[in-house]
Structure 1
Amino acid sequence: MYERPLYRENRDGVVLAFLRHNPLALVVTSHDDVPVATHAPVLFRHGPDGVDAEAVAAGTVPLTGSTLIGHMNVENPQWRRMRSGDRALIVFQGPHGYVSPMVYEVTPAAPTWDYTAVHVTGTMEPTADPTAVLDIVSDTARRLESGFGRGWDQESSLDYFRKIAPGVGAFTLRVESVQTIFKLSQEKAAPTRRRVVEQFEASESATHRALASMMRDRGLTEADEERETAG
């Protein structure tokens, strides 16, 4: 992925939060020089040498060297052909939206697309070991329920998990590199950025509203306008 410096996010804590909020990833591998991909939930497990997430979130250790976990159907040809040491690209997509030139209030102008994404590359370690699979599946379910669910307790379903585990192919990935793009109209003047945010906030799309929230959280509206005025 081309990382334009203006759009790059260098803070590992911010990137980790992004992965946590956007766990459904595209897992890409190559077999016989043919790229194959599967959409699957992929979660951060621990930092380098097993350190906890808080150290990565605080920026005291890098995201590089961390471990991610995921799973897919054991009958998936991609997983069945996956071998220990295979390299993979995992793509996390965040909020995005089309920006109409009408927002710029100038002519000539060109439309664009604001979007957020993180590309992680690393080394895969697939496993069909029942204990390891159950650990990854139950950990994934617990954490997704905690982040997005309604308080479901999986304890009464663990026997069911054990029953379906043979149909699951799990994997871990050791992160080797991280690329980011948070394209949020940074190149535009503050009044224009504010209008872009307002356009997204007025949208019926939850994705657009999430994008607007991200732009406000990153100080790309009023705070920038105040700095321009002060300067």
Structure 2
Amino acid sequence: MAGGLKNISAYLRFMYNVPHFKTSAHADVVAFMHAHPFITLCGINEHSQPVATHIPVLIEERNDKLFLLAHVMRKQEHTKAFEANPNVLAIFSGAHSYVSASWYENKQVASTWNYQAVHARGILQFLDDAGLYNVLKKLTANFEQHADSPSLVEKMDEQYMQHNMKAIAAFEIELTDVQHVFKLSQNRDEKSYNNIIETLGTKDADAQSIAATMQSRKSTIFPS
């Protein structure tokens, strides 16, 4: 892909595109993807109808390109669609929360919703049996996060593995386009920004997560 994925700004063409709600740091976008690996994977079937499924993915960076590794069950509608049309969209999403204009200094404006999301387009390629086994090993090791876990693929019964592998297909997606929105009230004045953080901090887990992210980014938005 021309320019590589490190030039994130070159690919901000189709998603909600307001400069306030972007980051120029490639590492921030990739970190968000790693932190939210349970994605919605979308495609188009042979009848031009949209399909989607929800799966965990492993993210790998090779020579300035990003790849997603995952597996799905065989003979599913989405699997057949991916076989017929390898062009897919992976959606990474995180915490989100309503933000009331009553928390702003100027309260006579529209309320909004804060959230973070990444949309990643790419080309899906199914893998052979050896590739499937390798993907299963990588996925399990990544999410178990313990080298001594008895649930690692290499510690499972070989007959059990071979039997279950017949029902699933592994693939990798080479990403060709990555877009993001980190909508976190960056367009508000500092007092309103602080009020939003304080109020979200008293609400549910998603709101508290948004508040924590806003707090962590405050120094870049309002440098002293």
Q: TM-score, normalised by structure 2?
A: 0.83
Q: State the Cα distance separating 1:9 from its structure 2 match.
A: 2.1
- Which of 180-189 and 81-90 deviates more? 81-90
Which digits, 9 at most, give the CA deviation of each residue in 1:13-41, with x for residues without a partner? 11111111100111111122211111111
The aligned runs of 1:15-30 (5 Å cut-off) are 15-30=29-44
The aligned runs of 1:57-206 (5 Å cut-off) are 61=64, 65-83=65-83, 86-127=86-127, 129-146=128-145, 152-153=149-150, 154=152, 155-157=154-156, 159=158, 160-203=160-203, 205-206=204-205
**For the residues of structure 1 that align with 2:90 and 2:101, how far apart are their CA atoms?**
32
Q: State the Cα distance separating 1:213 from its structure 2 match.
A: 1.6
- Which of 159-168 and 180-189 deviates more? 159-168
8 Å CA contact 2:44, 2:81 repeated in 1: no
- Residues 198, 107 of structure 1: CA spacing in aligned structure 2 closer, same or farther, 3 A cutoff? closer
8 Å CA contact 1:85, 1:125 repeated in 2: no
Q: State the Cα distance separating 1:169 from its structure 2 match.
A: 1.7
8 Å CA contact 1:71, 1:170 repeated in 2: yes
8 Å CA contact 1:84, 1:124 repeated in 2: no
Q: Tell me the secondary structure at the aligned position of residue 185 of structure 1.
A: coil
Is 1:4 aligned with 2:1? no
**For the residues of structure 2 that align with 1:7 and 1:136, how far apart are their CA atoms?**
34
Gaps of 5+ in 2: 1-14
Aligned alpha-carbon RMSD (Å)? 2.3
**For the residues of structure 1 that align with 2:73 and 2:136, how far apart are their CA atoms?**
12
Q: How many residues align?
A: 206
Q: Tell me the secondary structure at the aligned position of residue 196 of structure 1.
A: helix
**For the residues of structure 1 that align with 2:200 and 2:23, how far apart are their CA atoms?**
21
Is 1:36 aligned with 2:35? no
Q: State the Cα distance separating 1:157 from its structure 2 match.
A: 2.5
Kindly provide the amino acid, as one letter, of the partner of residue 29 in structure 2: V
Gaps of 5+ in 1: 49-60
- Residues 85, 215 of structure 1: CA spacing in aligned structure 2 closer, same or farther, 3 A cutoff? same
Is 1:218 aligned with 2:217? yes
Percent identity between the two aligned chains:
26
Q: Which residue of 1 aligns with 2:207?
A: 208
